[in-house]
Amino acid sequence: MKFPAKILPDLCALLMLTGCATIAPPQPPSLELPKPPSDLRATRKGERVTLTWTAPNVTTDRQTVRSVGPTKICRGLEQKLNQCGTPVGEAPAQPTPNFAQSAKQNNTKQNNKRSFTDLLTQIPGYGSPGIATYAVEALNAAGRGAGLSNQVHMSLARTLPPPQDFAARVTAEGIVLTWIGSVSPTNSAQPAHYIYRIYRRMEGSQEQTRTGEILAGDEPNFSFTDSNIQWEKTYEYRAETVTVIAQENQPEVQVEVQVEGDDTPEIKVFAHDIFPPAVPSGLQAVASGPGQKTFVDLVWAPVTDADLDGYNIYRHEEGSPAVKVTADPVKTPAYRDDSVASGKNYLYSVSAVDVRGNESGRSEEAGERVP
């Protein structure tokens, strides 16, 4: 198709306008500075402080982190850190995860979790009433960072050593735990008291149950009975010391800081029930009256053991051994013996039986003559 020569310049100008895109102003290059972590957490066990945080996956200019460096661990004795100063340690660099694949698996944060353990004994102020302040700073491969993370605080108070000679034995009342403890300090730089805390879990379970607490004092020998157990189960126990510090937060308001000490080794115990119920008491025997069918009624005080299954009844005549007259345990504290003969004297006794077949001793005998 041919166009008149006079319109060709106008057509060329139009094509130039419609075929050219607008060019944006040039953007500065990314500094590749990882965004400071905001989820730093600190936990303490004995003299060890464990810091955990999520390594950043984006930079301060919202780009995916590609330049990975170490993370500086910052610590100071002031309330707020303005800068890291000389770090107390470093968490080494880790390869940048494949975020597309991690997002698909929905475990990006889990793959990017970091941690560091600090020893309080390395701090000159350890054992004082003060605190240690922690922060971390994520760096790129060039050793540059965008600043400190959120900051967390940890008490510098000392803890007592873990209980010694921690042991367990099974009794009729439950599992008795014993240990030797440390005498509570009386000249501590900070008002505090100390407790022993006991934990229990059933074998095969990960669930820990706080079973009890005992206040530490001036005596070294301690004992605690765990009666809330199930017989024929295996339990694992551990104990720890806890330092409890009262701190003034606001006028007329006090908050407690609890610092957990180290654990004892875990001990295992099988709660095997070989313990019989209590011996019945108050047994009385009353024979039937003249003209009635012959029988002897027995009554006694009930046994209150929680695992009681019933009672066995024993009878004998003078000079002969006692014989059990009930095939199965009697469920109530009363029994009528109608297999008796007129004119004879009978002696009775009663024992208690639990659900696992443990039988108590026999009660004092009660005698009766059948008319």
pLDDT in tens, the chain (371 residues): 554 555 555 544 544 544 445 565 655 666 789 999 999 999 999 999 999 999 999 999 999 988 889 999 999 999 999 999 899 999 998 765 554 444 444 444 556 899 999 999 999 888 888 899 999 999 999 999 999 999 999 999 888 899 999 999 999 999 999 999 987 665 555 578 899 999 999 999 999 999 999 998 888 999 999 999 999 999 999 999 999 987 655 445 456 789 999 999 999 999 999 999 999 999 999 999 887 899 999 999 999 998 999 999 999 999 999 999 999 999 999 999 999 999 999 999 999 999 999 999 999 999 999 99
Do the Cβ atoms of 317 and 323 come closer than 8 Å?
Answer: no
Q: Where are the domains of the chain?
A: 41-155, 164-270, 281-369
| One CATH from 3.40.390.10, 2.60.40.10, 1.10.357.10, 3.40.50.300 for 41-155 | 2.60.40.10
Could you tell me which residues come within 8 angstroms of residue 76 by beta carbon, excluding any fewer than 6 positions away?
Answer: 85, 132, 133
Return the structure tokens found at 32: 């590749």
Tokens of 53: 């945080």
β-pair type (221-226, 345-354): unpaired
Torsion angle of the four alpha carbons 57, 60, 65, 71, in this order, in degrees rounded to the nearest 10? -70
Q: What is the pLDDT of residue 190?
A: 59
Q: Please, what is the Cα angle at 73 between 69 and 79, to 5 degrees?
A: 140
Tokens 């968490």 label which residue? 91
Q: What angle do CA 203, 207, 213 make, to 5 degrees?
A: 95
**Beta-carbon-side half-sphere exposure of residue 42 (alpha carbons within 13 Å):** 25
Return the pLDDT at 304: 95
The pLDDT of residue 181 is: 92
Distance CA 42, CA 111 (A): 19
Q: What's this model's pTM, rounded to 2 decimal places?
A: 0.74
Q: What's the rounded Cα separation, in Å, for the pair 360 and 155?
A: 55
CATH of the domain spanning 281-369 = 2.60.40.10
3-class SS string, 44-98: EECCEEEEEEECCCEECCCCECCCCCCEEEEEECCCCCCCCCCCCEEECCCCCCC
Instruction: Quote the tokens at residue 247.
Output: 């701190």
Tell the CATH superfamily of the 164-270 domain: Immunoglobulins (2.60.40.10)
**Same fold: 41-155 with 164-270:** yes
